[in-house]
Structure 1
């Protein structure tokens, strides 16, 4: 970003306090609301508290949003256009083999720049408290699973098997993240070829394994440097 621009966009509002004569943007409000949602749940998304953290009055909020509900709707839209859109996009990405295609899905879910796991679980928790949010979550789940099923069908899996494999892949990943194993990337890298066999019934090529391991290590170079399996 051009630092001569007086408008500030911050990816981490918690660690980058506002200083000087800086205008708070709509993205600032969305960022701090998202951080509150992840940290404290939807009950923690409070206009007054966020305004105090940003160092601005409530009038700044109403410049961008009609109400707190308008902000909450914007958070859901952000989630849909990041997490869900990224998963669908990577499932639809061209691939020569089903193991390469599933590897693309792996690339999505291990990369927080594409898929924010913390935000996904914050929305799931929110959905337990709101029928409206549950409906949005259900629609996104359907979209994600449909994309994964279509991915398997592109490689000639029968529809029923494609549906089952899509669900195994998707719900395993959700459960994997929910377990919060905090395992090192080297463990994932060692298991990854076997995961690909388990999800697809096919053996990945050495090239596919090497490229996927390199991608994972690039996301976490410290752990990747200790990975003797790459």
Structure 2
């Protein structure tokens, strides 16, 4: 875990955001059941009193984790879907490349942990739904800007995310030596407009 202080016995300076980031790391590694105050405090080398200086209770921490994850995902998708007029196609291909990459294992682990949490918790499910709706809407707008009819833009947006998240969880490299070319072909298929 990245939460431990640099020197044994040294206390890491903690603030609310530090606790939240540490909890997100634990969430990625252990799931929501690992986000216990005692575990976090011990990992930081601090007392539980430090936690209660920044949070009312564990629910306050959970709210902070979910809000931080949501806000970060929305900021990221806003950044990734900004396109100069006429460059929407390139931006969509970039989006597929960025989100379909398996480089960011920590990000994938966090995404999976939040989604697993959402299967059992209504609050987490509502946050995941909000993020997914935002993602789909932002890409729908890119497709519409390319002249794709709205219904088709919605379908392509859903297909784009189903593909990037699905293939990012798979170990495709052994499937075909030219898996990079296959991924490029699939991305083109998702983005390219059909001629009437």
Note whether the superposition's TM-score is higher than 0.5.
yes
TM superposition score normalised by structure 1: 0.72
Do structure 1's residue 131 and structure 2's residue 122 form an aligned pair? yes
State the Cα distance separating 1:101 from its structure 2 match: 1.6
Cα distance in structure 2, aligned partners of 1:133 and 1:79 = 10
Q: How many residue pairs were aligned? A: 189
Give CA deviations for 1:192-214 in whole Å, capped at 9, x if unaligned.
43123211226xxxxxxxxxxxx
State the Cα distance separating 1:120 from its structure 2 match: 1.1
Q: What secondary structure sits across from 1:23 in the alignment?
A: coil
Distance of aligned partners of 1:153 and 1:28 in 2 relative to their CA distance in 1, 3 Å threshold = same
Counterpart pick for 1:59 among 29, 32, 49: 49
TM superposition score normalised by structure 2: 0.83
Give CA deviations for 1:39-79 in whole Å, capped at 9, x if unaligned.
11111100001111111000100111111111111111111
Give CA deviations for 1:157-201 in whole Å, capped at 9, x if unaligned.
01111111111101111212233x1639x9564334312321122
State the Cα distance separating 1:20 from its structure 2 match: 3.0
Q: What does 1:210-225 align with in structure 2 at a 5 Å threshold?
A: none
Q: Deviating runs (4+, > 4 A) in structure 1?
A: 14-19
Q: What does 1:56-205 align with in structure 2 at a 5 Å threshold?
A: 56-94=46-84, 96-109=86-99, 110=101, 112=104, 116-179=107-170, 181=171, 183=173, 189-201=180-192
Q: Which of the pair has the greater relative contact order for Cα pairs under 8 Å at 6+ separation?
A: 2
Residue segments in structure 1 that go unaligned for 5+ positions in a row = 1-10, 203-230
Give CA deviations for 1:73-92 in whole Å, capped at 9, x if unaligned.
11111111212321233123
Cα distance in structure 2, aligned partners of 1:200 and 1:60 = 50
Q: What secondary structure sits across from 1:24 in the alignment?
A: coil
Question: Quick check: 148-157 or 28-37, which moved more?
Answer: 28-37
Q: What secondary structure sits across from 2:56 in the alignment?
A: coil
Query: Are the aligned partners of 1:14 and 1:32 in contact in 2 as well (CA < 8 Å)?
Result: no
Counterpart of 2:18 in structure 1 is: 28
Cα distance in structure 1, aligned partners of 2:19 and 2:8 = 12
Residue segments in structure 2 that go unaligned for 5+ positions in a row = none
Distance of aligned partners of 1:17 and 1:116 in 2 relative to their CA distance in 1, 3 Å threshold = farther
Question: Quick check: 129-138 or 56-65, which moved more?
Answer: 129-138
Query: Are the aligned partners of 1:93 and 1:104 in contact in 2 as well (CA < 8 Å)?
Result: no
Do structure 1's residue 44 and structure 2's residue 34 form an aligned pair? yes
